[in-house]
Chains A and B, each alone.
Chain A
Amino acid sequence: MRSPGTQGALSTLFVFYLAAFAAFTVWAILALPDLFPVFRWPYTWTAAFVRLVDYAIPITVGGLAVAYSLFLRPGAGGRRPFHRVVGSQLSLLVTLSVLYSAALFGFYPRSRTLLTELEELTRHGRALLETAQEDLRQGRKQAAVDVYERYLAINRRDDAVSGELDRLRAELHAPAGTGEAQPAPEAATEPARGQSPGQLLATARSHFEREDWFSAVYFADLAVSVSGERADAVSRDAARLSARAWEQIRSQKPDKMSLGERELFEKKQAGYRLFQRQDFLSAYYHFLDLSRRFPKDQDAKRYLADSRVQVERLAYFRDEAERMDPLPGPQGLLFLNGGSKGTREIVSIGKMVSTAGETFFKDIEVLRVVSGRVQLHYLAPYGKLESGQAPPAGQGQAGGTRAGVLLRGIDRVRRGRDLVPRPIVGSLRGEEPRYLLSLAPRPEDLAALRAPGPAGRSRLGGVSLDTLWLAREGIGAFGQLESALSLEILMRLLLPFAFLNLGLLATALGWSYRLTGGRRPALAAYLVIPLFPVAAALLAGVYLKVHRLLAAYALLSWGFRPALVGLAVLEGAILAVMLILLAGRGND
């Protein structure tokens, strides 16, 4: 790619891309939606990039047409076949197609999502600000502090609100960072995990001999639990040791202890009972309180850690869910959630955020219709994905493990601030006591289950090709138009070929209609240059429209795979025609 021709074409294309990016940046600035100042530049750059990818084909076609018709001259030294003249230009075009594909399949979907996300975050932030102000007017200062903190997580550079928050905290005599976001006391690490039942039993015996009864119970129970279903000697010994240690606990004479020791002992005993009764939520708050008051007590820490593990299987911590608000993710999910004959369940999810192995959902709405009547209809502010849940009763579709969404949110430190689904019709608690929504689709397919909108296919623009591909088969079962998804895949796969084919056409046309007479044209002629990308955009628009029509017909008539093969053959044929057209251009 070192020939003067390539350099000429490359220079022209570079100028075209640069000018287009500058124009798209100006366009983004002029059409900037209502955003927080902190989002404006990220939005502007991202919007310019998205438009550059959107219009990459016409810009390249226009640039190549101008380069070959205006700047590239026939080489000296007599006639040469055109393919020799443009051999390196072909390499350039293939390289550009690869770069375009990388941008289109790699960065583009994420950038599209980010644009929607920044607008949505601004709307959400403004709503939070209004809520906080309303809380203040109503005199709920702590609530206002909580909401302001959430607002500042989105718009961190709002000095006025930061100042207001500091003032409120001072009024409440609460140090910064306390309140809802206050971290729970550090739970004990669990060195016992990973040990064999025999080792655990030995540890339990050691504690028993030191008359550390609670630890003995803990490790003996752990040995039983690790043994699982096996009723071997170790398991039996551990169960016996646990019972003996528990007997010792019950037989303790509180009057021989100091006041503090007695309180700790009684509270541990009460907490242990809660844990044994599998009231893990109460046990969690109980041991949380205990470990705060007796930070050096290892039993409290151990049981706090175990309670938390159990609680996380039942509910999500609301501060975690609220922290997901500012993060980007697919929006507007809508799907049919399984259901047997006569039963239909429709789930609408405002936003899904996946980060660090956890997935949270926002603005969940579920409508279940059984035999023509609404059996259940509720709204849940947040949800957290919990994998490996068996389908709960009443939701049909027996067999197979389904992912579940925990709909109950609890406060990490304060009891009684639960977020539970709000029923519109029926009672979720009656239907699903665990507040669990069982999902029929696989979690990895959820991003493709978008609600249809007036924007047509552009709603899928933010979904990556691999997600679309994986979700395609069987997506009809979730109320999605499978052909729409398949067509989106076909059209996306077509774009790099369109880039290459139209680029070749532009090269051939540019060379065929190149400047005559050897001299540069009048200065006024250069004013026409900006019209080339516009004309190329119309040409590309017609080309893609016809392809969309053919692909849609093939898809509906023959199915996905034959349509894919048919489209590949068509693109190959067009490529061959373009190469023949190019090879036929003489360098006279």
Chain B
Amino acid sequence: MKNALRLPALFLLFCILLGVLLTGISLLELRVGHSGEPPQAARALVVSRLAPVLLERFPAAVLFALVLTLFPLYRRPGNRFLSYLLPMGAAFLVLAFGGQALRRLPGAPRAPQPTAAGYFLPRCFQEFGGAVLYLDGLEGSRLDGVVAQGPPAGGPRLAYLGGSVASIGGQQLTVQGGGRSLSAPARPAYAVLLAEADDPVQRLLSGFEADLRRLARELDARYRASRSAYYLTCLALVFSFFTAGVFFRISRWPLANVLLAFLVMRGCLFLFGWLREEVAGELARLAGMPRLVSSLPEAALLALGAVLLLVDLLFLRFERPQGEPAGA
């Protein structure tokens, strides 16, 4: 009983720590990328992004905290019913109502308008949409002494553009000068420091990050659409993640169990995104029941969670097996 009661407290602790950590990392990334801006402008940008970033990282923090709570849950099992209900309930309440509270936070100060200073480094070669750009200096949106180096070619690669004008439109940055126009995605100048080499591991991590961002966007969209849909999505996520913890006890090899559990949770996240973006729209178009089909991802996660819960209740003991190390 006591063990079960401390689980929600542990969950809350993990949730706060993870929320601070994930938000801090995102804001630090933003700050480093915009180091080219004057310090007060960079600080103002970070402050203005605090609430949106916190909101974006919040679902990930809740779900990760729930996963971490599973470790003490299975290390010192208490009452089975309470051990399942309390952390799951706490996670649902925090995700649903915490998210709601965060959305009601007073509006953050308006982010300063991005300037060329945040995207260009004077007297420094920088990659720009497949070319390399050099500029002597910049003032406002005016760039001085611009030189561009094109991709390898038989002839000359360096071209002097002279005085040029930079414009920022949406996610695109354009430089016009010397009768030429160059475009590139608008990436902060110092983001190059954080660029990772393109390899399979980075692609896996990027995919995971993208799924988490998509989840946050999805929750936001559901919140704006209807409260009941939003609560249903929160419930489905919490239920499927929690019940995936059944894999923590699936075999006598605990480390492999943890790995499998994480794999299933990652699968849940992917399944949710895939059903929402790929399948639900297509089904709605074919079946003609958009409201019903829009809840397909939640239904799938709930069904998966129910199956996992049944497996847990029917086939797995809740007590820690004899001989299992306490350090786990």
Binding site for B on A (CB under 8 A): 54-55, 58, 65-66, 69-70, 334, 336, 344, 346, 348, 350, 365, 367, 369, 372, 374, 377, 379, 424, 451-458, 461, 476, 479-481, 483-484, 487, 509-519, 521-522, 525, 528, 531-532, 534-535, 537-538, 540-542, 545-546, 548-550, 552-553, 556, 584-586, 588
Q: Are A372 and B28 interface neighbours, CB within 8 A? A: no
Partner of B255, one of A457, A514, A519: A514
Distance between Cα atoms of A451 and B147 in the complex (Å): 13
Partner of B251, one of A350, A424, A511, A525: A525
Q: What are 17 A-B residue pairs whose CB atoms fall within 8 Å in the complex?
A: A54-B199, A69-B253, A69-B256, A334-B132, A348-B158, A377-B160, A451-B132, A456-B197, A457-B196, A512-B328, A513-B254, A513-B328, A538-B201, A538-B204, A541-B202, A552-B190, A553-B31
Q: Are B201 and A537 interface neighbours, CB within 8 A? A: yes
Chain B residues within an 8 Å CB radius of A588: 325-326
Asked whether any CB of chain A lies closer than 8 Å to the CB of B324, the reply is yes
Partner of A538, one of B132, B134, B205, B258: B205
As a 0/1 sequence over residues 20 to 36 of chain B, the CB contacts with chain A under 8 angstroms (1 = contact) are 00000100110110010
Partner of B197, one of A70, A458, A513, A521: A458
Partner of A510, one of B132, B158, B162, B255: B255
Closest to B121 in A: A481
Asked whether any CB of chain A lies closer than 8 Å to the CB of B313, the reply is no
Partner of A367, one of B160, B195, B201: B160
Q: Are A509 and B145 interface neighbours, CB within 8 A? A: no
Distance between Cα atoms of A517 and B251 in the complex (Å): 11
Distance between Cα atoms of A545 and B32 in the complex (Å): 13
Chain B residues within an 8 Å CB radius of A556: 32, 35, 190, 193
Distance between Cα atoms of A367 and B149 in the complex (Å): 11
Q: Are A521 and B125 interface neighbours, CB within 8 A? A: no
Beyond A65-B255, A512-B327, 8 extra complex contacts between A and B, CB < 8 Å: A344-B145, A350-B152, A377-B156, A509-B255, A512-B325, A514-B254, A514-B255, A538-B205
Chain B residues within an 8 Å CB radius of A367: 147, 158, 160
Q: Are B193 and A487 interface neighbours, CB within 8 A? A: yes
Q: Are A586 and B132 interface neighbours, CB within 8 A? A: no
Chain A residues within an 8 Å CB radius of B327: 511-512, 584-586
Chain B residues within an 8 Å CB radius of A479: 123-125, 134
Main secondary structure of the interface of B (DSSP, over half): mixed
Asked whether any CB of chain A lies closer than 8 Å to the CB of B321, the reply is yes
Q: Known interface pairs A517-B323, A525-B251. Does A481 touch B127 (Cβ–Cβ under 8 Å)?
A: no
As a 0/1 sequence over residues 201 to 244 of chain B, the CB contacts with chain A under 8 angstroms (1 = contact) are 11011001000000000000000000000000000000000000
Closest 9 CB pairs of A and B: A456-B195, A513-B255, A513-B254, A458-B197, A69-B255, A452-B127, A367-B158, A512-B327, A516-B324
Closest to A554 in B: B32
Partner of A334, one of B29, B125, B258: B125
Distance between Cα atoms of A348 and B321 in the complex (Å): 67
Partner of A456, one of B192, B253, B328: B192
Asked whether any CB of chain A lies closer than 8 Å to the CB of B311, the reply is no
Q: Are B252 and A452 interface neighbours, CB within 8 A? A: no
Closest to A68 in B: B255
Closest to B326 in A: A588
Distance between Cα atoms of A517 and B145 in the complex (Å): 73
Asked whether any CB of chain A lies closer than 8 Å to the CB of B278, the reply is no
Distance between Cα atoms of A545 and B201 in the complex (Å): 12
Q: Are B195 and A549 interface neighbours, CB within 8 A? A: no
Pick from B80-88, B96-104, B107-115, B259-267 the stretch touching chain A.
B259-267
Q: Are A521 and B193 interface neighbours, CB within 8 A? A: no
Chain A residues within an 8 Å CB radius of B201: 55, 58, 537-538, 540-541
Asked whether any CB of chain A lies closer than 8 Å to the CB of B174, the reply is no
A443 to chain B, nearest CB (A): 20
Distance between Cα atoms of A549 and B127 in the complex (Å): 20
B26 to chain A, nearest CB (A): 10
Asked whether any CB of chain A lies closer than 8 Å to the CB of B72, the reply is no
Partner of A525, one of B152, B190, B208, B253: B253
Distance between Cα atoms of A516 and B199 in the complex (Å): 36
Partner of A535, one of B121, B198, B262: B262
Chain B residues within an 8 Å CB radius of A516: 252-254, 321, 323-325
Chain A residues within an 8 Å CB radius of B163: 372
Distance between Cα atoms of A483 and B155 in the complex (Å): 32
Q: Are A531 and B259 interface neighbours, CB within 8 A? A: yes
